[in-house]
Amino acid sequence: MNFNKVIFILAFLFCVTLQAQKFETHAVKQGETLESIAKKYQVTPYAILKLNPEVKNGVKANTIVVIPVSEKSQTQPGGNSNIAGPEGNVERFIEHKAKRKETLYSIAKEYNISVDDIKRYNKELYSRQLKRNEIVQIPVFSAVANTGSVPQVREGLVAHRVAPKEGPWRIAYEHGITVDSLKTINPSMKEVLKEGDTLWVPFVAGNNKKPVEVDAYNYYTVLPKEGFYRLKVKLGVTQAEVEALNPEVKTDGLKAGMVIKLPKNKMGELTVNNGQLIEKFSLLDSLNYDQKSTLAIVLPFKLDELNFENIDSNKEKIKRDKLLSVSLDFYTGALMAIDSVKKLGLSLDVKVFDSGANDAKVGQLASSGKLTNVNAIIGPILPSTFNRVSSAVRSSNTPIFAPFSNKGLQMYSNVYQTLPPDDLLREKMLKYIKNNATNKNVIIIADKNNAAIKSKLQALVPGAKVINPIEDKFIRLDEINPFLSSEKENWVVVETNSIPLLTNITGVVNSAQTPEYKITLLTTLKGDAYDSDNISNMHLSNLHFHFPTIDKLSDVNANFSKQFDAKYGTTPNRYATRGFDLTMDVILRLAYNKNLDYVSAKVSETEYVENKFDYKKGLSGGYYNTALYIVKYDNLEIKEAKNDANLNSNILGSTSN
């Protein structure tokens, strides 16, 4: 027989065997050894070691090991991998203390039983509601005959339904096992989990699950042969810090695959994805040069309105027509990106279409079928025309990217909103303030239109002082002076989009700053009022003004700016730079994998000249860019603000191109 075929058959048989293997979990008790556990489950010590390499130096009490179920043990009474339910015998009870806002339904879901099961053994709950701190008896059923439905419990394991944004590390951490053990129990587990996937996990009583607190900590999966010294070099975290947050490490030591909790500010050069510290991911290092991608760019060039025999007339039209001007600027940047990727050796076919100035033009394009055989679409710009095109390609699930809109979009499953929504800008800035307001004297100034955000700030920063503008028009210097501290840095958070009020506030606060009083100005959302000529950039710079933004200014001496100037004879504006950044990102994602749903889950944040992208799937469909910057004025320049307590809790990787 052909040698390659032999290898293939053996590999196939191995996979089948692996899929058929069944497992149990065992909580190690004091005095137990590897040999005694193996004898109990009628397997060899080697079989346990194979699934739990971390116990090669012996097992330790209060840890969990994965046990392969032998054919012999499966035939013993109670050894079936079957569902548990009300028809089974109750083996024991677990005492559950009801928490605030907890319901019978949520408790039943936590223990994979029904509400009726709980009421059956807590009869007082038939006639009244569950009370906070009440002790509820939770029945644990023995296995019964399999009915052919999806199993919910099997020999110490329970079925766990994957929640949104839940990765393997989080599931392993909550259930007290390593990621490797989770993979062993679930050999067909995919690299990227999807909401609704079902995995086997050890049974852990709800109150005993280890909570994941991504707002307060980061989490890290220990690599093979990684000790405390390596963690110190890699993350800047000491052994004492690790052991303080992870008591099991003090008794059991570090194990490969173990998920440990770490302080937010200890992350080294790693990046964060939903609380997990991981190595940075580079798209440029992962491109598939053998596949060809097709990209469509749809912009309102309004070619029907241009007179190609009269250049001066066209120049005047471009100056007057803001939409046309933005489209051309964006397109020049896109062309720079296309040239760049072709120099990398990528195979790319680009189709450019004019969406025109009205819905009729874009309607013709949408119904023409010209956009059906492309891998991705960028544009159109206006929400109305964008929605027309996104609806037309919805049935083919062609990814379509909105270059400038974060409002008015129909968020179909194939839509990518590339501008973060305003709510997210505010949310990230609120987190920045919360994480960095320690030892700051916080003063809030908000008009009546921003009463809601004022309340949020007061809740986040207890003890913050509040100044209410007089008739929503102005504040006085003698109102702010009594609130200033000479011992702490003063943070003045301003919430208004009124030009007269903002002009007054920035002037007054700037006047209040003296060598004795250090003042920083902040806002959770920088509105159009800040662009008014009445607002002094000198005042904003003096006050080191901090705000969230979708992009940051790039250096005019950067490579992109120099190359753009050499090609077009001018420096790129923000629209041209965005055209480069967005087009480059879409092309590189396609070159990595044409399934952009997979890419969004796997790659996440990428960063270019002035923009970065980190797409997360929305609850109602479509993808939202969640990547943004917190920036500050510094000597009349805008620079990225350093965050003392890591902000980017939803980042998987970063690619600087």
Instruction: Give the pLDDT score at 649.
Output: 31
* Residue 241 pLDDT class (50, 70, 90 cuts): very high
CB hemisphere CA count around 375 (13 angstroms): 21
Handedness of CA 201, 204, 207, 210 (dihedral sign): negative
Asked if 393 contacts 414 with a C-beta cutoff of 8 angstroms, the reply is: yes
Spatial separation of the C-alpha atoms in residues 422 and 431, rounded to whole Å: 14
pLDDT digits (tens, 9 = 90+) for 428-461: 999 999 989 989 999 999 999 999 999 999 999 9
Contact partners, residue 419, CB within 8 Å, separation at least 6: 402, 404, 405, 406, 550, 625
Instruction: Give the pLDDT score at 647.
Output: 41
* Residue 235 pLDDT class (50, 70, 90 cuts): very high
Average pLDDT, the chain: 82
Max CA separation in the chain (angstroms): 94
- Using a pLDDT cut of 90, give the percent of the chain over it: 42
Residue 75 has pLDDT above 60, yes or no: no
Strands 612-613 and 606-607: antiparallel
Phi/psi of residue 582, nearest 5 degrees: -65, -45
CB hemisphere CA count around 396 (13 angstroms): 17
Choice between 52 and 256, residue whose per-residue pLDDT is larger: 256
pLDDT digits (tens, 9 = 90+) for 491-525: 999 999 999 999 999 999 999 999 999 999 999 99
Spatial separation of the C-alpha atoms in residues 267 and 604, rounded to whole Å: 18
Residue 445: its H or E element: strand 440-446
Go through the domains of the chain in sequence order and give each one's CATH number: 214-279 (3.10.350.10), 285-420+557-622 (3.40.50.2300), 423-549 (3.40.50)
Residue 310 has pLDDT above 80, yes or no: no
Residue 393 has pLDDT above 50, yes or no: yes
- Helix-, strand-, coil-residue percentages of the chain, each rounded to 5: 40, 20, 45
Give the SS3 label for residue 463: coil
The whole-number average pLDDT for the span 246-273 is 87
Sheet of strand 259-263: strand arrangement: 259-263, 217-221, 276-278, 271-273
Please count the other Cβ atoms lying within 10 Å of the Cβ belonging to residue 178: 23
Q: Which residue carries 């800040």 as its tokens?
A: 530
Asked if 615 contacts 604 with a C-beta cutoff of 8 angstroms, the reply is: yes
Q: Which residue carries 């509040």 as its tokens?
A: 466
Choice between 405 and 359, residue whose per-residue pLDDT is larger: 405
Instruction: Give the pLDDT score at 141.
Output: 67
* Residue 83 pLDDT class (50, 70, 90 cuts): very low
Q: Which residue carries 């992009």 as its tokens?
A: 551
Phi/psi of residue 6, nearest 5 degrees: -60, -45
Spatial separation of the C-alpha atoms in residues 326 and 322, rounded to whole Å: 6
Kindly state the tokens that stand for 152: 């919910």
H-helix segments, 513-573 = 537-542, 559-568
* Residue 6 pLDDT class (50, 70, 90 cuts): very low
Choice between 489 and 635, residue whose per-residue pLDDT is larger: 489
* Residue 543 pLDDT class (50, 70, 90 cuts): very high
Residue 612 has pLDDT above 50, yes or no: yes
For residue 22, the 8-state DSSP code is -
Q: Which residue carries 């119904």 as its tokens?
A: 367
Instruction: Give the pLDDT score at 8.
Output: 36
Instruction: Give the pLDDT score at 14.
Output: 36
Instruction: Give the pLDDT score at 151.
Output: 38
- Using a pLDDT cut of 70, give the percent of the chain over it: 84
The whole-number average pLDDT for the span 549-573 is 88
Q: What is the pTM of this model?
A: 0.66
Q: Which of 4-18, 121-135, 197-211, 255-269 has the highest mean pLDDT?
A: 255-269
Give the SS3 label for residue 339: helix
Instruction: Give the pLDDT score at 267.
Output: 84
Q: Which residues of 158-177 are buried (b: 16+ CB within 10 A; e: fewer)?
A: bebebeebbbbbbbbbbbbb
Contact partners, residue 465, CB within 8 Å, separation at least 6: 441, 442, 443, 444, 483
Phi/psi of residue 160, nearest 5 degrees: -115, 125
Name the residue among 271, 283, 269 with its Cα closest to residue 581: 283
* Residue 145 pLDDT class (50, 70, 90 cuts): very low
* Residue 308 pLDDT class (50, 70, 90 cuts): low
Asked if 136 contacts 122 with a C-beta cutoff of 8 angstroms, the reply is: yes
Phi/psi of residue 82, nearest 5 degrees: -130, 175
pLDDT digits (tens, 9 = 90+) for 526-537: 999 999 999 999
Instruction: Give the pLDDT score at 134.
Output: 87
Instruction: Give the pLDDT score at 19.
Output: 39
Strands 292-299 and 376-378: parallel
Residue 624 has pLDDT above 90, yes or no: yes
Spatial separation of the C-alpha atoms in residues 630 and 522, rounded to whole Å: 10
Instruction: Give the pLDDT score at 643.
Output: 57
Spatial separation of the C-alpha atoms in residues 521 and 505, rounded to whole Å: 10
pLDDT digits (tens, 9 = 90+) for 319-373: 778 888 899 999 999 999 999 998 888 999 999 998 887 778 888 888 888 888 8
Residue 71: its H or E element: helix 71-74
Contact partners, residue 640, CB within 8 Å, separation at least 6: 552, 629, 630, 631, 632
Residue 599: its H or E element: helix 596-602
Asked if 341 contacts 587 with a C-beta cutoff of 8 angstroms, the reply is: yes
Phi/psi of residue 64, nearest 5 degrees: -115, 135
